[in-house]
A and B are shown apart, each in its own frame.
Chain A
Amino acid sequence: MSAPTDLPTRIPTDLTDEQLPEVLGRSLAGLYSGEARLPARPGGRNAALKALGAFTGKDYGARNHLLSPVSRLSMYLRHGMISPLEVAQVVRAGSRRSDREEFLRQLAWREFFWLVLRQRGAAVLSNLEEPKYRAQWSPDLPADVREARTGLPCADAWVTHLTEDGYMHNHERMWFAAYLIHWRKVDWRAGYAFFREHLLDGDLASNALSWQWVASTFSGKPYMMNQENIAKYSAGKWCDGCTAQCPFKGSYEQLQEKLFGWKA
């Protein structure tokens, strides 16, 4: 399909950051969502090398904790602005064995998803396996979730990170995905599309297959968490003093019975 002739087809490659929102916004009018603004982190090889230079892998072994250092290199890896070998080389050269091995294992997850996509193609956008519980999911993202007004300070913060920063900590991604799929009973593909819209590192392989992993259509059981888990790994930042009706309270056994109908 050719572009209609009245639409601009060429965009200068030397726009300054000051020019970028207006000129690129005009060139891509009607082809994007949200405000025409610079991303929270700049794209490009130069920014990627700067981010890589600032990362040592130190304390990465504690990566599940929101306050622990993570690389934030995923957006650069996603677009090939740095390569996995360049990143591995830095981590191998400068970090403790436990941090190094945990980081390289996470890099391997990325490669695993890449290989699954190459093997399965567009099928990754359909359930690769049957869900491991009697799932009844609605297709659309609820408006209160999209607009970060669920009334749950934690969930609203996760969405705000996504839409404002184009980035979420991996543990926030997992919590949000579990909340959307298991508590709100929304099809994982609605979450996948929401992430694809905003994540600077959003790619088909890691995004779709991670959602399927949480949904249990690409894993042996559904991923879930409880309030204790959220409080522990966020240092209580949302839980301390929270007055919301918390749906995550309870033991794993109680929540599994409530969400999946599994008797303890």
Chain B
Amino acid sequence: MEGVSTANGPVIVWLHGDSLSPTDAALSAHPQAPALFVFDRPFLSSHAIAFTRLAFMYGGVRDVAAARPGLTELRVGSVSAELAAFATEHGAAELHVTENPTPEFGSILSGVRERCPGLRVVIYPAERLSSYSGQVNKFFGFWNKVQSEVLGGGELFRDQDAPRPQPESERRPRDHRSDRNRRR
């Protein structure tokens, strides 16, 4: 079925806290593939998080599950352990996910890789307001670099159509293994 496998074999999708929409890049590239969201038991055991925040996120998972044709599962546990188990259950050759800037993102993927050494991890770029990816230090330096892009050309923008998200087919997913040095 379309979106379930690549040339390498079956795909699963990791749905995380920054990607709770069926329009998420990794999810929409594989609408039929099994997807998993995990409430992080070790994190929640050691950090106070109000129930209302978790219920809000649940609403995101619920809408994703209802909107896509593929299986969407919700679990509670260690994220990397549950992802590894999910990959094994579905005979996955690849784990697809959209980029997340948190330190936990890299450590969770490392944990999955330790448990499933043969699993290829493919990371999709997060949808962003600007294309700038250089060093940032102060907001105003950043703003000077991006404002014409963000504002859409200032005065020139007034009569133009708004920029549109890049079509899925033009997005270039990245193989995490080829880009290890970029993230700490």
Question: CB within 8 Å of A: which of B58-79?
Answer: 58-67, 72-78
Q: Say yes or no: A28 contacts B59, CB within 8 Å.
A: no
Q: Is B177 an interface residue (CB 8 A)?
A: no
Q: How far is the CB of A104 from chain B (nearest CB, A)?
A: 5
Q: Is A35 an interface residue (CB 8 A)?
A: yes
Report the tally of A-B residue pairs with Cβ distances under 8 A: 236
**Interface residues on chain A, size class:** 35 or more
Complex interface: chain A residues within 8 A of B163 (CB): 85, 88-89
Q: Is A225 an interface residue (CB 8 A)?
A: no
Q: Say yes or no: B53 contacts A200, CB within 8 Å.
A: yes
Question: CB within 8 Å of A: which of B143-170?
Answer: 143, 146-147, 150-152, 154, 157-158, 162-165
Q: Is A2 an interface residue (CB 8 A)?
A: yes
Complex interface: chain B residues within 8 A of A43 (CB): 20, 55-60
Complex interface: chain A residues within 8 A of B74 (CB): 10-13
Complex interface: chain A residues within 8 A of B77 (CB): 2-3, 7, 9
**Interface residues on chain B, size class:** 35 or more
Q: Say yes or no: B165 contacts A116, CB within 8 Å.
A: no
* Cα–Cα, bound, A104→B42 (Å): 37
* Cα–Cα, bound, A182→B123 (Å): 42
Q: Select which of B22, B56, B64, B127 is within 8 A of A39 by beta carbon.
A: B56
Q: Beyond A3-B77, A9-B77, A115-B133, is A75–B56 a contact (Cβ under 8 Å)?
A: yes
* Cα–Cα, bound, A30→B76 (Å): 12
Q: Beyond A3-B41, A166-B56, is A44–B51 a contact (Cβ under 8 Å)?
A: no
Question: CB within 8 Å of B: which of A169-223?
Answer: 193, 196-200, 202-205
Question: CB within 8 Å of B: which of A115-156?
Answer: 115-119, 121-122
Q: Say yes or no: A45 contacts B60, CB within 8 Å.
A: yes
Q: Say yes or no: B50 contacts A34, CB within 8 Å.
A: yes
Give B residues with C-beta under 8 Å from A.
17-24, 39, 41-42, 44-45, 47-67, 72-78, 81-82, 98, 101-103, 127-130, 132-133, 135-136, 139, 142-143, 146-147, 150-152, 154, 157-158, 162-165, 183-184
Q: Which 8 A-B pairs have the closest CB atoms?
A: A43-B59, A43-B56, A44-B59, A44-B63, A13-B65, A31-B44, A3-B77, A118-B101
